[in-house]
A and B are shown apart, each in its own frame.
Chain A
C-alpha cells in the first residue's frame, strides 16, 4: 500500500529540547515536503526536497532543519523548539511533476510548552 508515514503522531515537549519528526514514503517519489497547518492559515510549506541531497526552503523555514540522505526519508528537525512551533505538521511526497498529486501523511501534532 502506498504510504507516507510520520512519527510520532503526537508529541508534547518543552522549549529548547531538540526533536525530530520522521517521514518515510514507500512510493519511490523524488519530491518530498513538510507543511505546518495552523487555524485560519491553511498549510504552509516549511522545506522541500527535489531529490536526495537536494533541499530548499519553503515559506516558513525559520527554526527548522531537514535532511535527505535517502530517497524514502525526509526528517524534520527542530533544534531548539519554541512555543510558536506548536502546530500540526504534515509530510507529503510526489513524483517529480505536480501533475501527480501529493500524498500526505496523517500528521504530527506537536505541542511545545
Chain B
C-alpha cells in the first residue's frame, strides 16, 4: 500500500537554528516525491520535488531535501529558519502517470524568537 509517514506532528525551533523535517514513504513503483508548505488560511505551495538524478534537490525559500532510497526517506532541511517559515509542511508521493498524490499527515513548524 502507498503511504507517507511524517513522524513529527509538531516541531519547534529557534529562529536561526537549523531544521530537518522527516518523511518516510512506502511506494510500490518509482516514487516521485514532493514537499508542500501551507501557511495559515492558504493553499498548498510546492517547495521542491524529486523525480530522478541528483538525490539532493534544492527548492524555494532556501529549503532542500535529500532522497535516500535505501531508507525510503525524503527529509526536508533548512540551514537557518526564519520566523516566516512557521507553517504546516506536507510530504507527498506520486507516480509518473496517474497524478494521484498520497500525502503525509503534516508537520506543524513553530519558530520561537
Contact = CB atoms under 8 A, between A and B. Distances in A.
Interface residues of B, number: 28
Given A101-B49, A105-B43, A48 B100 contact: yes
Contacts of A106: 41-43
A98 B30 CA distance: 12
B63 interface: no
Given A104-B43, A107-B43, A45 B100 contact: yes
Interface string A76-113: 00000000000000101010111101101111000000
A31 interface: yes
B43 A43 contact: no
B43 A90 contact: yes
Contacts of B99: 31, 33, 48, 50, 94, 96-98, 102
A98 B97 contact: yes
Given A42-B104, A98-B97, A98-B98, 15 more contacts: A41-B105, A42-B106, A43-B101, A48-B99, A48-B100, A90-B43, A90-B44, A96-B99, A98-B94, A98-B95, A98-B96, A101-B46, A102-B46, A104-B44, A107-B42
Interface of B: 4, 6, 9, 32, 34, 36, 41-46, 49, 51, 90, 92, 94-101, 103-106
